[in-house]
Chains A and B, each alone.
Chain A
Amino acid sequence: MSNPWIAVGALGLVSVLVPLGMMAASALIRPTVPEQGKTAVYESGEVPTGNTRIRFNIQYYMVALLFVIFDIETVLIFPWTVIYRDAVSQVGLTKALVPMLVFIGVLVVGLVWAWRNGAVRWVQPTTSDRRQTET
């Protein structure tokens, strides 16, 4: 009768009952003072303008994508630079340097392709488009 899952189940039950009990208790005890300020989106007093459905310029998507690529590149290059000196003395220059050059080379090919295909060309919206996005 000492199934450890009983304890796990009991823990789960308690972890549901405690917050529910606290919410129920405070709902019974606390005074209700309805006030307009409480229903505002930002209780700090900032008045929200417009609704939540704003249209972003799609070109930010490309920028974000390029950022992610370079971010990950940095993450992978950084530890390599830290151990580079030790690696050269242990396995030689070729084995330490060439794999990273290949990696960067692959990324450069991708970047050149994206650049040539206009990934970083910022298209100015025409006036009629701009009005549409801002309202």
Chain B
Amino acid sequence: MLQTLQISGTAALAPTLVLGVTALLLLLIDSIDPEESSSALLSGVATLGSLVALAAAGAILVATGGEPQSLFQGQLVVDGMSLFFTFIFTSVTTLVTLASYDYLKEFRYKAEFYTLVMLAATGMTLMASSNSMATAFVSLELASLPSYALVAFLKNNRGSVEAGLKYFLIGALSSAVFVYGISLVYGVTGSLQFDAIASELGNTGEGLVGVLGVGILMIIGGFAFKTASVPFHWWAPEAYEGAPAPVSAFLSSASKAAGFVIAFRVFTVAFPQSTVGVDWVLAFQVLALVTMTLGNFAAATQENVKRMMAYSSIGHAGYVLIALGALTGSANQAFVLGAGMIHLVVYGFMNTGAFLFIALAEYWGVGRTFEDYNGLAKQAPVACVAMTVFLFSLAGLPIGGGFLSKFFLIAAAVEAATIGTYVLAFALVINSALSLFYYSRVVKAMWIEDPVGDFEVGGYPTGLYAAIIVAAVATFLLLPALGLFTNVAVDAAASMIQ
């Protein structure tokens, strides 16, 4: 770090502002001529906007060294954690907007698509920075509402519309649960700001611990929806299957990371384990165990590749929940949280890449089941190599960053050295082994099986290919280069926990 500069006021929010302005710009471009929307222009503006936001996040991180910058009387805070996650959101957004260039060519409402993606990304970066329950809720809604519309983007496709409706209804339910939880916590502590909640917690009367516990449980419910973990996970397979594949990639990577960043901040800043008197670590241990087991076992029984990936993303939510479930007093807390953050970075690339490969298959008109992928490697070897890297990295083989990030999670859980965390580490190993089975089914179909019928891939779309290859290279490079992120992540986590 060069030196610690003071970045004043709204300049620290530059990534969020850039994304929001890009969304408005896309609307203006579309207003000029709504009938004739140019795919290249819109996709270019959206990709450029997210790249600028990415660069801005990096620049602020270098300039401030992750020093917390409090904005708007502490309603928002820009620190290492928020910038780290802004990096994840903007890189996933870049990949998705780049890939959508080809995917959306035939559709009419392109500008709306990119605008909604940009607005959702704005909400996510705001979630990463929010430092009070009010801003957390508003930014969560800002990230969610465009997502509902994006899932239902294929207006004339029954599956897409059904998925959008289900996603919306479950989202509305869990938002209601979440905001009720906030009201209970506010009732007990009398404040919405995270640090103020933490300092009020010591003064709560005996009788109010129950109310506080119910409030915390409800807030966990709200996060469970956003991160697609038990008990609000069942929207994920429906929504990811029905949605256009780039949207599934966006939701399962960026949206999930957004749910985790706000969960990390709420539970380490507002409800620190030492003062809260409610054992939320145990709740997260149970949730992590159930989520990863359910996700992986359900994924193993799927016949549809997209649905399999949806359940696998539930399983990965379970892995990251270890970062909260292992925050026991005996653990090296910064390392535990940092391991979760690192897994989310790697996951952002490998999972986005895998969904973009499915988008490529949809673009070609390949079917949805495992058998339909038979012999695809003969036609498109480059994309299939990339997909193999994604899948093996997701399973945790040392071919991509997924190996190291899972290793960190296991190490962090074992280091905490309680029965619960040992069980979690053990469950992660078992589930990863199981996941290797269903991921390799896709690899086997692509490389070993012979194609069922005569099938010619229709062209090699530039944008989709570029996005997939960038994601694959990033996934691969994260194996040797993960050390770069480890320090940033652990420092960010340490400065938040204090």
Contacts and interface: CB of A to CB of B under 8 A. Distances in A.
B28 A109 contact: yes
Contacts of B24: 106, 109
Interface of A is mostly: helix
Contact of B28 (A113, A115, A117, A118): A113
A116 B30 CA distance: 9
A110 interface: yes
Interface string B10-27: 000000000000001001
A63 interface: no
Nearest to A4: B207
B28 to A, nearest CB: 6
A115 B31 CA distance: 8
A110 B24 CA distance: 8
A116 B406 CA distance: 50
Contacts of B30: 113, 116-117
Interface residues of A, number: 9
B28 A112 contact: yes
A49 B223 CA distance: 50
Nearest to B26: A113
Contacts, number: 22
A130 B32 CA distance: 33
B34 interface: yes
Interface string B34-50: 10000000000000000
Interface residues of B, number: 7
Interface string A50-86: 0000000000000000000000000000000000000
Contacts of B34: 116-118
A112 B27 CA distance: 9
Interface string A91-124: 0000000000000001001101101111000000
A116 B27 CA distance: 10
Nearest to B29: A113
Contacts of A110: 27
A28 to B, nearest CB: 42
Interface string B184-204: 000000000000000000000
Pick from B27, B28, B30, B32 the residue with the most CB of A within 10 Å.
Answer: B27
Contacts of B31: 109, 112-113, 115-117
Contacts of A106: 24
A97 to B, nearest CB: 16
A71 B32 CA distance: 27
B32 to A, nearest CB: 8
B380 to A, nearest CB: 37
B495 to A, nearest CB: 31
A134 to B, nearest CB: 28
A113 B109 CA distance: 12
Nearest to B30: A113
Contacts of B32: 116
A102 to B, nearest CB: 11
Nearest to B24: A109
Contacts of A117: 30-31, 34
Pick from B28, B30, B31, B34 the residue with the most CB of A within 10 Å.
Answer: B31
Contacts of A112: 27-28, 31
A76 to B, nearest CB: 14
A109 B22 CA distance: 12
B279 to A, nearest CB: 25
B402 to A, nearest CB: 40
A116 B32 CA distance: 8
15 contacts: A109-B24, A110-B27, A112-B27, A112-B28, A113-B27, A113-B28, A113-B31, A115-B31, A116-B30, A116-B31, A116-B32, A116-B34, A117-B31, A117-B34, A118-B34
Given A110-B27, A113-B28, A116-B32, 6 more contacts: A109-B31, A112-B27, A112-B28, A113-B27, A113-B30, A117-B34
Interface of B: 24, 27-28, 30-32, 34
Please give me the 3 A-B residue pairs with the lowest Cβ-Cβ distance, nearest first: A113-B27, A116-B31, A113-B31
